[in-house]
């Protein structure tokens, strides 16, 4: 095994907090979903007005979405948190995640980073959605998303060998003969903040040195515009931009 260039350790206190909040959100969402579903059945059986029924349906949908998102967060964090104390290792061969096989540099299409701290802070200050945004962050949403795109996402899924972490590799349509795959890493959800930002800098620097396109963004829309053409040939852009690095 190649000598590590950089290693990021798991922050166990963060992991414990994220686990409790995420489990709490799942339990509350399921309980509320059952309660609202019972109310919906009663509303339909009682012949209540359509407005009441629509509100109940929206409530059930919201509980379902909240549960699904919490489960997806938990699976995403499995890529960084296992029995070992090391969440992420960068070597000359590539990037090794705690719960994933080695991702070689030559297999990467890009390394992209979305620094969402400013928008998240603004969301938390809003009167209605603020508490929900705060709860989502405590449950592991994180504000520092790093995504690694690979040329053959299906091959990476097979390399997991049946591990549940394979579910977090999102596949896209055929691109140069293979389906590209995207791996999300919510670094600051389970790694101490300064270490998470150092990990991002190392990933960007090492990928750039090897000719892998990199981009760091603070705008969600700007980030999607940057990465879209590299994962989807049908992405609606007027002109393909240089993907060797953006800010």
The span from the CA of 44 to the CA of 175, in Å, is: 48
Q: Measure the CA angle with vertex 44, ends 38 and 49; round to 5°.
A: 120
DSSP calls for 18-65 = HHHHHHHHHHHHHHHHHHHHHHHHHHHHTT--HHHHHHHHHHHHHHHH
Single pTM value for the model: 0.78
Nearest C-alpha neighbor of 154 from the set 180, 185, 184 = 180
Integer Cα distance of 36 and 187 in angstroms: 35
Tell me how far apart the alpha carbons of residues 34 and 142 are, in angstroms, rounded to a whole number. 28
Tens-binned pLDDT, residue by residue, of the chain (247 aa): 578 899 999 888 888 887 788 788 888 888 988 888 888 787 787 777 777 778 878 888 888 888 887 777 777 777 888 778 898 999 999 999 888 899 999 999 999 999 887 776 676 677 766 777 677 666 667 778 899 999 999 999 999 887 777 888 889 887 878 899 999 888 888 899 899 999 999 999 999 999 999 999 988 889 999 999 898 877 776 544 444 444 4
């Amino acid at each position: 095994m190649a000598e590590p260039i950089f290693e990021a350790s798991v922050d166990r206190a963060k992991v414990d907090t994220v686990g409790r909040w995420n489990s709490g959100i799942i339990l509350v969402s399921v309980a509320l979903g059952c309660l609202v579903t019972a109310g919906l059945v009663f509303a339909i059986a009682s012949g209540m007005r359509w407005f009441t029924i629509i509100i109940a349906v929206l409530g059930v949908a919201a509980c379902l979405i909240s549960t699904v998102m919490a489960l997806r967060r938990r699976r995403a964090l499995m890529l960084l948190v296992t029995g070992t104390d090391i969440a992420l290792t960068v070597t000359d061969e590539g990037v090794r995640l705690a719960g994933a096989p080695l991702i070689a540099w030559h297999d990467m299409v890009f390394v992209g980073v979305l620094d969402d701290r400013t928008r998240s802070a603004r969301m938390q200050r809003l009167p209605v959605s603020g508490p929900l945004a705060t709860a989502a962050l405590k449950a592991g949403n994180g504000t520092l998303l790093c995504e690694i795109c690979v040329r053959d996402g299906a091959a990476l899924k097979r390399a997991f060998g049946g591990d549940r972490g394979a579910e977090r590799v999102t596949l896209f349509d055929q691109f140069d003969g293979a389906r590209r795959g995207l791996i999300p890493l919510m670094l600051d959800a389970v790694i101490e903040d300064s270490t998470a930002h150092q990990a991002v800098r190392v990933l960007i620097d090492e990928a750039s040195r090897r000719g892998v396109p990199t981009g760091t963004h603070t705008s969600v829309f700007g980030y999607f515009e940057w990465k879209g053409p590299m994962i989807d040939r049908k992405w609606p852009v007027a002109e393909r931009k240089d993907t060797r690095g953006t800010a």
